[in-house]
Structure 1
Amino acid sequence: MSRPQDANRSFFPFGNPFRMISPKGTKIPPQLLLVLHAFEATLEERLKKLIPKSKDEILSFPWMTLAMQTLCESHNDIKTLITELEVPVCDWEDKWIDVYFDISVKLLDICNAFSSELSRLNRGQLLLQCALHNLESSSSEQYERACSSLDGWNELIGSGNPRIEKCGSILDDLRESIDLPKDKKSAKGMVLMQAMYGVKVQTLFVCSVFAAAFSGSTKHMAVLDVADIYSWASTFKGLQNLVNEEIGGRFSGGRFTVLNELEVVNSTVKELYPIIQGVVDNIETESPAKIVGELGKAREKLSQGIDLLSKEVESFFYVVLTGRDALLSNLRSGATVTDSILEVNRDVQIVK
């Protein structure tokens, strides 16, 4: 995808997003506090859903699918909150809108990187499917074809994905400006900014976990320090510590990958490959048929996981994209769109 040059800008820009000027020390009215508290309570419940009953659930495809689902829900809630607060788009500064579009492109780029990796993994499981089909026969020719497919799997799964590496650098940029603004804004602006902060933390956490899982490295893992003043801070810190420690432990333990389903497939392939090559005496190993059956089950689980997670990543892509489209539509109907905004939007059309 085409993407504009990254700038040193915050994930959600806080540089005076509203033109409305309010006296210093503006306080949030009780009715707006209720709205904010309800939003943050829902955010905390979503974070709690990601705390697994067992560490073995972490970085399984069902867990990652749930994480992406909660992210979609939170971003949809932000769009709903903007509507409920009735903050006219025409009151937003052009610079804030410009940065919003730029940052949303970064999120779309991250989605495309994840989709690229899931497509790559899907190609791998198709190679496994081909190998399993050939192993249904006992002919040496079919076994050779199975070996070729497994060679293709090993080569593909052992290679890197440049798009995931670029995704990590984007996350690094977004992580640089995560703190809330110190300036006092309008009451509605303060509510929106605090709600956005929570979603920003959730987004960076989920996306950095995905980047670590897909890249096979903890280089871009987020360690976000959230102040205790937020009602959801304790829940988030517990979740972050649990997930980060588990991922770090898996890498330090020499695991091929931190993804559960992928690790099972890989270990089974390693066990099966020398058998069908005739390197290992079948008498000293488990029945090849049993191992083939285990690989078949593992491949099916991997395939289902890839399919479900791919759909959720696509959903998140469109949540971000429709948010952009809605804002652009409001701008066209009530304000002048700057050239820079249009330029960023043309880049998004390439993504679509």
Structure 2
Amino acid sequence: MSRPQDPHRPFFPLGNPFRRILPKGLQMSPRLISILNSFEETLAERLRKLIPEDQGDVLSLTWMKLAMESLCETHTDMKTLITDLDLPVTGWDQNWIDVYLDDSMRLLDTCIALSSEISRLNQGHLLLQCALHNLESGTPECCMKARSALDNWRHHIYSKNPRVQSCRSILDSLVEALNLPKVKNSSKGKVLLHAIYGVKAVTIFVCSVFASAFSSSSKNLLDLAIPDTVLWARAFSDLQTRVSGEIRELFPSEKSTGLKELDSVDSIVKTLYPAIRDRLQQPPGVEEEALKICFTDLQGGAEKLSEGLDLLAKQVDTFFETVLSGREALLCNLRVTSSDMNAVTGGKIWEQQAVR
């Protein structure tokens, strides 16, 4: 794990994971190879589409929405792959189940943290609307109220969210779990863990970018070294290099608000202060051109920010539901398996798994 003051070297947690999940001598059928290759090629293409064309687009709400959409699609692909493998829960190793359930819970916690920050930032829209309403009136008293609302807005957006601050520890635990359990003579299990590794690595990286954006700090970025044995390794490396590099360049002193649209509104607010001051110094009835321009700019910027946050919030909610539905599907299968096993044996096999 790298820090801004240290060399940013990617790493394998506890060694190369594929030495454990790809035992020698275990062969895959052409059908399984096709399933895995299709999954990895699709993942690689999604990663390539996320590489930003222009500098500064990385932490835009538009890019973040696309990244979260891509993550949802990848997790959905994972469900499809499990179905295609036709690997029943009874064929899953207990360790795989434990890792999946633990990781899904961590992802749900991460989603809650990200959603809380999006909601907090959106609450600032009310302060901007209050400022715009008072500026439209134009009286000295209303101008003072507008300036007070803008002061409150800046204090609000620069304050820290404890939930976002906790994301780093959650992501660290996900990185530690990248070292997947060993496959025991199962070619389908081999494909499953291959896919799980890809989903986890991409999810960790995207979530670390979100945590960096919402905390205005590159300390939350995580650099991962991906084995070149997977088809999506090059695409992941290119994306990580581009995105992480731009974020670290953006946050050398950690004075940015993080989000591109948020920075834009903040810049407009800063220019409003002298415009309001000049307006207060003018006789009543005198129009101030600079104030009118800033008013119009703030209207547009505030609306764009609010709309972007709303769309991102919906996408994070979709990701939450995607992770939750996958978790519930596994738990449901465990309960069904438990009932079937108890009906046959009269025992309590799987019972602990079913209630996890």
Instruction: Identify the TM-score tier after normalising by the shorter chain.
Output: 0.7 to 0.9
- Counterpart residue number, 1:126: 126
Q: Which moved more, 1:66-75 or 1:252-261?
A: 252-261
1:131-142 → structure 2 map (5 Å cutoff) = 131-142=131-142
> Structure 1 residue 280: deviation in Å?
9.1
- Counterpart residue number, 1:82: 82
Matched, 1:298 2:304: no
> Structure 1 residue 206: deviation in Å?
0.4
The 1:130–1:286 alpha-carbon spacing in structure 2 relative to 1, beyond 3 Å, is: same
Between structure 1 and structure 2, the one with the greater Rg is 2
Matched, 1:245 2:245: yes
Question: C-alpha offsets along residues 204-235 of structure 1, whole Å, 9 cap, x if unaligned?
Answer: 11000000000111112011101212111111
Give me the whole-angstrom Cα distance separating, in 2, the residues matched to 1:210 and 1:179.
Answer: 23
**Greater relative contact order (Cα 8 A, min sep 6): structure 1 or 2?**
1
- Counterpart residue number, 2:316: 313
Give me the whole-angstrom Cα distance separating, in 2, the residues matched to 1:55 and 1:104.
Answer: 33
Give me the whole-angstrom Cα distance separating, in 1, the residues matched to 2:137 and 2:289.
Answer: 18
Q: Which ranges in structure 2 are unaligned for 5 or more consecutive residues?
A: 1-12, 339-348
The 1:201–1:136 alpha-carbon spacing in structure 2 relative to 1, beyond 3 Å, is: same
> Structure 1 residue 49: deviation in Å?
1.0
1:177-256 → structure 2 map (5 Å cutoff) = 177-179=177-179, 185-252=185-252, 255-256=255-256
> Structure 1 residue 147: deviation in Å?
1.8
Q: Once superposed, what is the RMSD of the aligned Cα atoms?
A: 2.7
Q: Which ranges in structure 1 are unaligned for 5 or more consecutive residues?
A: 1-8, 345-352
The 1:35–1:95 alpha-carbon spacing in structure 2 relative to 1, beyond 3 Å, is: closer
Q: Which moved more, 1:49-58 or 1:34-43?
A: 49-58
The 1:243–1:23 alpha-carbon spacing in structure 2 relative to 1, beyond 3 Å, is: closer
Q: Secondary structure at the match of 1:55?
A: coil
Give me the whole-angstrom Cα distance separating, in 2, the residues matched to 1:31 and 1:278.
Answer: 73
Matched, 1:150 2:153: no
Matched, 1:160 2:160: yes
Q: Give me the TM-score of the superposition, normalised by structure 1.
A: 0.86
Q: Give me the TM-score of the superposition, normalised by structure 2.
A: 0.85
Matched, 1:261 2:261: yes
Give me the whole-angstrom Cα distance separating, in 2, the residues matched to 1:140 and 1:307.
Answer: 34
User: Is the 8 Å Cα contact of residues 50 and 67 (structure 1) preserved in structure 2?
Assistant: yes
Matched, 1:171 2:171: yes
Amino acid at match of 2:332: S
Give me the whole-angstrom Cα distance separating, in 2, the residues matched to 1:280 and 1:185.
Answer: 79
> Structure 1 residue 141: deviation in Å?
2.3
- Counterpart residue number, 1:6: none
> Structure 1 residue 102: deviation in Å?
2.1
Give me the whole-angstrom Cα distance separating, in 2, the residues matched to 1:327 and 1:114.
Answer: 25
Number of residue pairs aligned between Structure 1 and Structure 2: 327
